[in-house]
Amino acid sequence: MATIDFWYSIGSTYSYLTVKRLPSVAQAAGITFRWRPFNVRHVMVAQNNIPFKDKPEKTAHMWRDIERRAARYGLNPSIPAPYPLPGLVLANQVAILGAEEGWGEAYTRATYSRWFEAGHPAGEEPNLSGSLIEIGQDPLRVLEAARSARVVEALSIATREAMEIGVFGSPTFVVDGELFWGDDRLQDAIDWSRAGKLA
């Protein structure tokens, strides 16, 4: 079965669409997606690529665009969600621990639902503990481990790997060395994995 790397940061707005629709898309396409959390804020600051700050027109379009596209996918977010996320780094430290332990995808989906649908920012309480309890994880254990030097370093390593292969934003799909940036490029990435070109 083909595998596509799905690089993402909790904190990215458009990644909401991908996180929520990816299970059904993956099943329909018969493709495995490898969920790869990284720190997109670190990458964007390093590359001076600040997409929305102090850009009200572009930001307004982003929210409306997500709202329109969410409806297409049967999603019902409360727009705009709180943004940006003060807890972005911790949110992704938890995600990378979850990726190691096998519950990263479930946590990511739970935390995005609480952020975009209930209005509770990811990476802080009550979202963190609520999401972890919902997926059967102990918040005390997970949050202590997620703050450990080892997990902090694991997120840094993943972020360096992302930058080395050219990832500059979230979500990014990587297949056969080709980068596809944006939820709106998910189908292009699937096309590429099947035929080496867009259908």
Binding site for a second copy (CB under 8 A): 47-49, 54-55, 57-58, 60-61, 64-65, 68-69, 71-72, 163, 166-169, 178-181, 184-185, 188, 192, 197-199
What is d(CA 9, CA 159) in angstroms, rounded to the nearest whole number? 10
Minimum CB distance to a second copy, residue 192 (Å): 8
Q: Which of 6, 31, 2, 1 is nearest to 185 (CA)?
A: 6
Minimum CB distance to a second copy, residue 52 (Å): 10
Q: Which of 91, 121, 119 is nearest to 107 (CA)?
A: 91
> Are 81 and 13 spatial neighbours (Cβ–Cβ below 8 Å)?
yes
Of 6 and 180, the one with the shorter C-beta distance to a second copy is 180
Query: Tokens representing 69?
Result: 């596209």
> Are 112 and 96 spatial neighbours (Cβ–Cβ below 8 Å)?
no
> Are 188 and 180 spatial neighbours (Cβ–Cβ below 8 Å)?
yes
Of 71 and 118, the one with the shorter C-beta distance to a second copy is 71
Minimum CB distance to a second copy, residue 47 (Å): 6
Q: Which of 38, 47, 27, 53 is nearest to 5 (CA)?
A: 38
Of 19 and 44, the one with the shorter C-beta distance to a second copy is 44
Of 48 and 102, the one with the shorter C-beta distance to a second copy is 48
> Are 25 and 185 spatial neighbours (Cβ–Cβ below 8 Å)?
no
Minimum CB distance to a second copy, residue 157 (Å): 19
Of 127 and 172, the one with the shorter C-beta distance to a second copy is 172
